[in-house]
Amino acid sequence: IGWLITEKFAETYNGQPMEFAVFEDLTGLYDATFFPEAFRRYGSLLTGGTPYILEGVVEEECGECTLTVSALEVVSQASSLRRAE
Protein backbone atom coordinates (compact mmCIF):
# COMPACT_ATOMS: atom_id res chain seq x y z
CA ILE A 1 0.00 0.00 0.00
CA GLY A 2 1.35 3.44 -0.83
CA TRP A 3 0.46 7.07 -1.38
CA LEU A 4 1.51 8.73 -4.64
CA ILE A 5 4.09 11.44 -3.92
CA THR A 6 5.50 12.41 -7.33
CA GLU A 7 5.34 11.19 -10.89
CA LYS A 8 7.30 11.73 -14.08
CA PHE A 9 5.97 10.82 -17.49
CA ALA A 10 8.33 9.42 -20.10
CA GLU A 11 8.37 7.51 -23.37
CA THR A 12 10.13 4.35 -24.41
CA TYR A 13 12.60 4.43 -27.29
CA ASN A 14 9.75 3.61 -29.66
CA GLY A 15 7.46 6.34 -28.32
CA GLN A 16 5.20 4.38 -25.96
CA PRO A 17 4.12 6.26 -22.81
CA MET A 18 5.32 5.09 -19.42
CA GLU A 19 5.69 6.57 -15.95
CA PHE A 20 8.16 6.75 -13.08
CA ALA A 21 6.54 7.41 -9.71
CA VAL A 22 7.47 7.71 -6.05
CA PHE A 23 5.15 6.27 -3.43
CA GLU A 24 5.28 6.45 0.36
CA ASP A 25 4.25 3.81 2.87
CA LEU A 26 4.85 3.36 6.61
CA THR A 27 8.49 2.39 5.97
CA GLY A 28 9.41 5.33 3.73
CA LEU A 29 9.60 6.22 0.05
CA TYR A 30 9.97 3.83 -2.86
CA ASP A 31 10.25 4.13 -6.63
CA ALA A 32 7.80 2.45 -8.96
CA THR A 33 7.96 2.05 -12.71
CA PHE A 34 4.91 1.69 -14.91
CA PHE A 35 6.10 0.27 -18.22
CA PRO A 36 3.79 0.82 -21.21
CA GLU A 37 1.36 -2.05 -20.58
CA ALA A 38 0.92 -1.20 -16.88
CA PHE A 39 0.72 2.50 -17.71
CA ARG A 40 -2.08 1.89 -20.23
CA ARG A 41 -4.01 -0.18 -17.70
CA TYR A 42 -3.46 1.89 -14.54
CA GLY A 43 -2.11 5.32 -15.45
CA SER A 44 -5.54 6.95 -15.39
CA LEU A 45 -6.07 5.77 -11.79
CA LEU A 46 -3.05 7.71 -10.53
CA THR A 47 -4.84 10.87 -9.46
CA GLY A 48 -3.35 11.11 -5.95
CA GLY A 49 -5.17 11.81 -2.72
CA THR A 50 -5.84 8.15 -1.99
CA PRO A 51 -3.73 5.12 -1.11
CA TYR A 52 -3.02 2.44 -3.69
CA ILE A 53 -2.36 -1.27 -3.53
CA LEU A 54 0.56 -2.01 -5.83
CA GLU A 55 1.80 -5.39 -7.03
CA GLY A 56 4.84 -6.21 -9.05
CA VAL A 57 8.47 -7.25 -9.01
CA VAL A 58 11.01 -5.58 -6.76
CA GLU A 59 14.38 -5.13 -8.43
CA GLU A 60 17.58 -3.94 -6.79
CA GLU A 61 20.23 -2.00 -8.66
CA CYS A 62 23.16 -0.16 -7.06
CA GLY A 63 21.57 -0.60 -3.62
CA GLU A 64 18.26 1.00 -4.66
CA CYS A 65 15.01 -0.94 -4.92
CA THR A 66 12.41 -0.25 -7.57
CA LEU A 67 8.97 -1.79 -7.97
CA THR A 68 8.07 -2.71 -11.54
CA VAL A 69 4.29 -2.47 -11.35
CA SER A 70 2.15 -5.28 -12.73
CA ALA A 71 -1.14 -4.41 -10.96
CA LEU A 72 -2.63 -1.46 -9.10
CA GLU A 73 -5.88 -0.89 -7.20
CA VAL A 74 -7.26 2.19 -5.54
CA VAL A 75 -7.82 1.24 -1.89
CA SER A 76 -11.38 2.62 -1.74
CA GLN A 77 -12.33 0.63 -4.85
CA ALA A 78 -10.56 -2.51 -3.64
CA SER A 79 -12.42 -2.38 -0.32
CA SER A 80 -15.84 -1.98 -1.91
CA LEU A 81 -15.16 -4.78 -4.40
CA ARG A 82 -14.11 -7.17 -1.65
CA ARG A 83 -17.17 -6.28 0.46
CA ALA A 84 -19.43 -7.06 -2.49
CA GLU A 85 -18.05 -10.63 -2.78
pLDDT digits (tens, 9 = 90+) for 21-78: 999 999 999 999 999 999 999 999 999 889 999 999 999 888 888 999 999 999 986 5
Alpha helical stretches, state H, 22-85: 36-42, 75-84
d(Cα 85, Cα 67) in Å, to the nearest integer? 29
Report the relative pairing of strands 17-25 and 2-11 from DSSP bridges: antiparallel
CA triple 1-76-59, angle to 5 deg = 25
Structural domains in the chain? 2-84 (2.40.50.140)
Q: Please give the model's pTM, rounded to 2 decimal places.
A: 0.85
From the list 76, 67, 80, the residue with the least C-alpha distance to 29 is 67
CA dihedral 38, 76, 84, 43 (to 10 degrees): -20
Whether the predicted pLDDT of 1 surpasses 70: yes
